[in-house]
Structure 1
Amino acid sequence: MSQDFIKTYQELRVYQLAFRSAMQIYRLSQQLPPEEEEMLSRQMVTASRSVCANLAEAWGKRRYHKAFVAKLNEAETEAAEVQTWIAFAVKCRYLDAEVGQSLLGQYRAIFAGLGRLIEDAGAWVRPME
């Protein structure tokens, strides 16, 4: 999709993947042991949702190049946090290794998408006219 045809952040492929991944993490978090609810489950769900929220905020800041890129960088930071929590969940054997690898692959794709948005930020920024 070219930026000329995208009207909302929900149309961005990276947002769609991040949203699907966050929903998958939410469903998986329901299967974690109760003692991990505060630390692992909540952190993983919150960070995965933050990727989406920061993408939405970045979209709203497209008038300002630095603000747009800063929000995308925050989305990258949250995505890295999600990867860390996934690694803990796999290492603690709360998540099957295959499921963990699939999720990590999704977040690598999210990183790549965010990186492309950052690299091409100038094409996405829409200054006030």
Structure 2
Amino acid sequence: MPLTQTTRGQALAMYVVYDSPLQMVSDDPSNYRGETGFDFVRRVPAAWDETRFLAGEPGEDIVLARRSGKAWYLGAMTSERARTEKVPLRFLPPGRWRATIWQDGEVVREVRRSTRSVTNADVLTLSLAAAGGAAVILEPAP
């Protein structure tokens, strides 16, 4: 059984937080098919139009927002200390947005996916396990 140092939620958040022109999975993509979160990996871009630091302390946690076209992507990561991140969405333009959220589940391999409607007046609450994280896509609501 492999030893993991992060949760699946943090692995997803890394695609947003770490700036890399080459996005990839760490082994054969067939191992990821059907797994929660792989839909995020398929959609996350490798280049960004805008980046915003939203919160964090060195060595403790980070919340970063990056825009590609009209969509915003959030990555939230924490250290060995579990925490709840409250993320104000005031950086979003006015209007209704669909937030698709992938965040830590009960065990390191589990990620919970949810969708909700938000505006720039809302605050997202993200539950991060120890060495955990969350990834979010914010898109203009249809």
If the length of structure 1 is used for normalisation, what is the TM-score? 0.24
Structure having the higher strand fraction is 2
Q: Please tell me whether Structure 1 or Structure 2 has the larger radius of gyration of its CA atoms.
A: 1
Structure having the higher helix fraction is 1
If the length of structure 2 is used for normalisation, what is the TM-score? 0.23
